[in-house]
């Protein structure tokens, strides 16, 4: 099977010496944070190479940074779904005459995505959600108002509004 390579892959290869013989491939003091911000996959490849070269300290540093980067990524995904969910509820409360099955589907879909994220990343507990609640609400109000092209009277949402309330068309 032929590998498809992107410009980003080539840039990463040059920057982190991918593709060179193994003995020349190890770099002591690699910037794991920068690499993990650019590509989780390429970080894993470099960790594997460090292990194969016997650079266990480098591999350990790479694994730790990759775990942190993946955690940040999952937390961003959780925040995005919470904002999406809150925005739809704000629109639901602000524009009752425009309610649709699409809004209902989006509300339940976002709830399911949040549950899935929490299932895959047990560290993202309800307490984590409560810690990011106010920031998510501010972003959701801004997004909902932009989508509705009007100001919303909603200034707060309860846990029940977001996670327990049954939303259905009557």
In this prediction, residue 39 has a pLDDT band, given cuts at 50, 70 and 90, of confident
Of the two residues 65 and 116, the one the predictor is more confident about is: 116
What is the band of 23 on the pLDDT scale with cuts at 50, 70, 90? very low
pLDDT category, 81, cuts 50, 70, 90?
very high
For the packed helices 40-52 and 56-94, what is the interaxial angle rounded to 10 degrees? 160
The answer to whether 111 and 164 have CB atoms below 8 angstroms apart is no
Angle at 80 between CA 142 and CA 94, to 5 degrees: 40
Mention every residue, 6+ apart, whose C-beta is less than 8 A from residue 103: 88, 91, 92, 167
d(CA 170, CA 140): 25
Mean pLDDT to the nearest integer, 135-151: 96
80 or 66, higher pLDDT? 80
């Amino acid at each position: 099977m032929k590998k498809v390579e992107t410009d980003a892959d080539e840039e990463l290869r040059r920057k982190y010496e991918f593709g060179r013989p193994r003995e020349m491939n190890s770099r002591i003091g690699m910037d794991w944070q920068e690499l993990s911000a650019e590509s989780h996959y390429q970080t894993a490849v470099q960790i594997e190479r460090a292990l194969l070269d016997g650079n266990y300290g480098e591999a350990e540093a790479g694994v730790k940074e990759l775990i942190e980067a993946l955690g940040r990524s999952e937390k961003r995904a959780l925040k995005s779904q919470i904002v999406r969910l809150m925005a739809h509820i704000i629109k639901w409360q602000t524009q009752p005459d425009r309610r649709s099955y699409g809004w209902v589907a989006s509300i339940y879909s976002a709830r399911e995505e949040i549950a899935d994220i929490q299932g895959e990343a047990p560290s993202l507990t309800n307490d984590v959600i409560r810690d990011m609640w106010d920031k998510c609400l501010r972003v959701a109000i801004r997004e909902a108002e932009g989508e509705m092209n009007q100001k919303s009277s909603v200034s707060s949402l309860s846990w029940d509004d977001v996670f327990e309330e049954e939303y259905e068309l009557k």
